[in-house]
Chain A
């Protein structure tokens, strides 16, 4: 039987999606359901003097109106940060309370203060307009760089500082810098982004008074984790009385990791009113209240010798957490950022210092890449600048500092098991025709255009992650993953995974893996996810972990099935279990060449006995049935890596940047389905290029979101991109049996510095911030013209 792993198997999920048969949360309607509308703060920072619902209660169709007072009275818990980070001085991080409905203070535009529940959506909206809130408006803090100097927005949190964290050794770095021939320094901003999943957030909460069970349908990347948080911290219901279902989810990119206010409020309120409640975000609510991403202000320095050896690295970053610290809010700018900031290079000494600040803006949390795009942007902008200042070719300088052997003990935390960065660089250069660039630059110049080329070599730590490692770094849970493989008596297989698919194609790729492991046709395998009532506990999907952690759990559970199958075959065929081999779905006794198919063995497991012709006794010690579970805890992160090369052409008269060529050469380890990987790379690149050239979340100084719709927030579109040139090198991960590394975030990680390096190259080394909009680039072009005129 040909192996399915590695082939372009068509997506099982496409029939459903392409024929409009997907079932998203908003598609779910329950009998007698009500509709919720949240009353949200129009102010970025205010105290609530009075909240009057009398008029609203009289509005037609209103079932109930609940506020911060009721939720506090019922002792419903607030939203939480999932990782505890300690400051350099050893103190614990400081997190403000974040009640699901604000009672005393609001801290960003969109912070909910009340929920109006009515018989129809229109009535709920109408009534919500009649809720009277008397705010005392306070001066908002919105600037990342300046938050430390602003009014303290949360009581007891001095300087708006959550923590002041250090990774690395300042003294060693100082010594390295003392020895340097040259110090390259850079000030950069990692612009704030809004994830913009195609499907807005939504939830439908139901309460069964007889079983006292709450069922919450919600747009989540990790329903089990949501249940745990809502139960343990939200006090919504004990875990066995709370079922969380995340059906088809239309994109997450990290924005659907969090348990949100609406999930908790609707679940709690459904029980209170004893009716189902439906809430679907409007697009403007998504802009305002989904977690945002990035938002760093960084000063970084690289100490180098004159022939281009890196000696030391400093990274001083201020990271904006927004109004509150959320699930991955505190780890994203620390352990997901600091360790990767030294990039793919051997740098003997390094440190990263991060001050995480609160501001009156939407909470900032993990967004595709989470910390690693910010890290890669820092080091790769710095290395590009070093190449300009040292006059060493940008690819040569990188190669000079690549590790020469694997495992590669990276400066700050990670030991990278495998890779070949030189091979990746060489292949990328070839794919991009790096050599031919100067000729293309001249052609552009002849047309009055400026052309630039940019390179990025990156690695990322994904497949998060070993429980022992992450818990020692402050994580509130272990990040293993589970799988359960159930054989039906008649031979089909259902695989339950604790990870979640919201665009990752698990239904296909996980079935490919199980099909290969079990020798069962892929049509006979179903992947089930997204329901806490089905399958065992799981940690969900983020950090490119589903395959590298969840996929391995499936492999391990399949291996247990095969082990049991061997014992059963041996008993049935009167052989020794050690003499039974398994191949392509058949158990073969090597001495006699007698065999049983896995289907026959599965059938036998459910009919353990002897009757007439049927002889299927089970070996002693084995129970009937054929179902195995695995909880897989990886021994290390996985480390995809690669080199990307971009070429841009700039029209100096309009500042328009045209992305002419984009080459991505990635090492994702073994590839399960090349078509799915291409899709992931394309999507990641679109978001990464979007960050570099188009997207920006902007607040004014009063904390109003200026880019609160698609009229002002530039989502990249297909016509913004060239045909992507995609290729791979492949070194298998040595830390998991599939040799896989993960591919979901690579594009978003590598593209921003790649594109910006190209833009800045075209601009003769002038810095521009992301996104490189026409006006910024136009100004830089004018400066360039002036300085060229001076030089001439």
Chain B
């Protein structure tokens, strides 16, 4: 690992001011540190944001769950309030990586990183989340732009993620057996008006499957999507799963999610 400067920011303003084109925020470090060790990324400055009070904590209201960006996966999975309001969200957190990763990795880091096979982005889409940054509020649907790409601008800091509490929801993941990231993860959420079917792992970026959402909004039963033949032309294909297998898994996991709702 190359030498770098370590800064610990006391508030969002300072963190944002320290940011440059050769810096990164340091939240859990679960993505940043390994990529620096492997020489895949080098930064002049790492700006630790874990000491910024505003970024931690979980707030539950009648309509929404708001989670501070620096909240660790383990805190989400253990939170009694979240378990009550959106149980699928805590079980998603419980299924991320391994205990070491869950004890350090944060929700903000996961979303900012937007790994195509990360779990949280699907929750943001399915639960109509609003991403609160130090500058603005961004709807989840406009936040995830592409592979490892988000709407965040340089130096913009995620402060909290606000999830809409659905009537029913479930997240079902077919994990990569080695890394346990999602080969395919499907987050189904039934809101008052409509149903979201957010899919991660299948394509270069998380997306809301319109076809399945429509079918399920009409009839919220797994039979309404059974046997659906999804177009696999844009799906990822690698040594762990071909595009066709992923296409089939999307439907299977969606069905499982509906059944589990």
| Residue positions of A touching B, CB distance < 8 A | 122, 284, 653-656, 694, 698, 706-707, 710-715, 773-775, 778
Contact = CB atoms under 8 A, between A and B. Distances in A.
B239 A706 contact: yes
A136 B146 CA distance: 38
A654 B177 contact: no
A713 B179 CA distance: 8
Contacts of B255: 653
Interface in B226-243: 239-242
Contact of A710 (B178, B239, B248): B178
Interface string B174-192: 1011110100000000000
Contacts of A714: 177-178
A715 B178 contact: yes
Contact of B178 (A654, A655, A713): A713
7 contacts: A654-B252, A707-B178, A710-B179, A711-B179, A773-B240, A775-B245, A778-B248
Which of B38, B239, B241, B255 has most A Cβ within 10 Å? B239
B249 A711 contact: no
A162 to B, nearest CB: 29
A775 B241 contact: yes
A656 B38 CA distance: 32
Contacts of A694: 177-178
A786 B104 CA distance: 47
A122 B174 CA distance: 40
Q: Which 10 A-B pairs have the closest CB atoms?
A: A714-B178, A711-B179, A714-B177, A775-B245, A653-B252, A712-B178, A775-B241, A654-B252, A706-B239, A694-B177
Contacts of A122: 1, 3
Contacts of A773: 177, 240
A654 B249 CA distance: 6
A654 B248 CA distance: 8
Interface residues of B, number: 19
A655 B253 CA distance: 12
Nearest to B174: A654
A277 B255 CA distance: 59
B177 A775 contact: no
Contacts of A656: 174
Nearest to B180: A717
A179 B100 CA distance: 62
Contacts of A706: 239
A698 B239 contact: yes
A438 B177 CA distance: 30
Contacts of B249: 654
B42 to A, nearest CB: 12
Contacts of A284: 38
A655 B248 CA distance: 11
Interface of B: 1, 3, 38, 174, 176-179, 181, 239-242, 245, 248-249, 252-253, 255
A655 to B, nearest CB: 8
A161 B120 CA distance: 52
A711 B179 CA distance: 4
A734 B258 CA distance: 63
A653 B177 CA distance: 17
A712 B240 contact: yes
Nearest to A693: B177
A707 B239 CA distance: 9
Which of A653, A654, A711, A778 has most B Cβ within 10 Å? A654
A439 to B, nearest CB: 26
Contacts of A655: 245
A725 to B, nearest CB: 24
B211 to A, nearest CB: 19
A653 to B, nearest CB: 5
A712 B248 CA distance: 22
A642 to B, nearest CB: 28
A698 B38 CA distance: 21
Nearest to A713: B178
B178 A778 contact: no
Nearest to A711: B179
Contacts of A698: 239
A694 B175 CA distance: 13
Contacts of A710: 178-179
A655 B242 CA distance: 13
A778 B240 CA distance: 13
A776 to B, nearest CB: 10
A714 B248 CA distance: 22
Contacts of B181: 711
A694 B240 CA distance: 11
Nearest to B172: A654
A712 B176 CA distance: 8
A655 B176 CA distance: 13
Nearest to A717: B98
A701 to B, nearest CB: 13
Contacts of A653: 248, 252, 255
Given A655-B245, A714-B178, A775-B245, 13 more contacts: A122-B1, A122-B3, A654-B253, A694-B177, A706-B239, A707-B239, A710-B178, A712-B240, A773-B240, A774-B177, A774-B241, A774-B245, A778-B248
B199 to A, nearest CB: 15
A172 B222 CA distance: 61
A655 B174 CA distance: 10
B152 to A, nearest CB: 25
A607 B189 CA distance: 86
B89 to A, nearest CB: 22
A712 B179 CA distance: 7
B174 A711 contact: no
A714 B176 CA distance: 9
B170 to A, nearest CB: 16
Nearest to B242: A775
A653 B240 CA distance: 16
A656 B249 CA distance: 11
B245 A778 contact: yes
Contacts of B177: 694, 714, 773-774
Contacts of A711: 176, 178-179, 181
A773 B249 CA distance: 14
Nearest to B248: A778
A403 to B, nearest CB: 40
A284 B37 CA distance: 11
A36 B241 CA distance: 39
B174 A774 contact: yes
Contacts of B174: 654, 656, 774
A706 B177 CA distance: 15
B178 to A, nearest CB: 4
A714 to B, nearest CB: 4
Nearest to B255: A653
A786 to B, nearest CB: 15
A708 to B, nearest CB: 11
A707 B238 CA distance: 12
Nearest to A779: B245
Contacts of A712: 178-179, 239-240
Which of B38, B252, B255 has most A Cβ within 10 Å? B252
A656 B253 CA distance: 12
A589 B209 CA distance: 91
Contacts of B1: 122
A122 B4 CA distance: 13
A713 B177 CA distance: 9
Nearest to B249: A654
Contacts of B253: 654
Contacts of A778: 245, 248
Contacts of A774: 174, 177, 241, 245
Contacts of B252: 653-654
A775 B241 CA distance: 6
A791 to B, nearest CB: 21
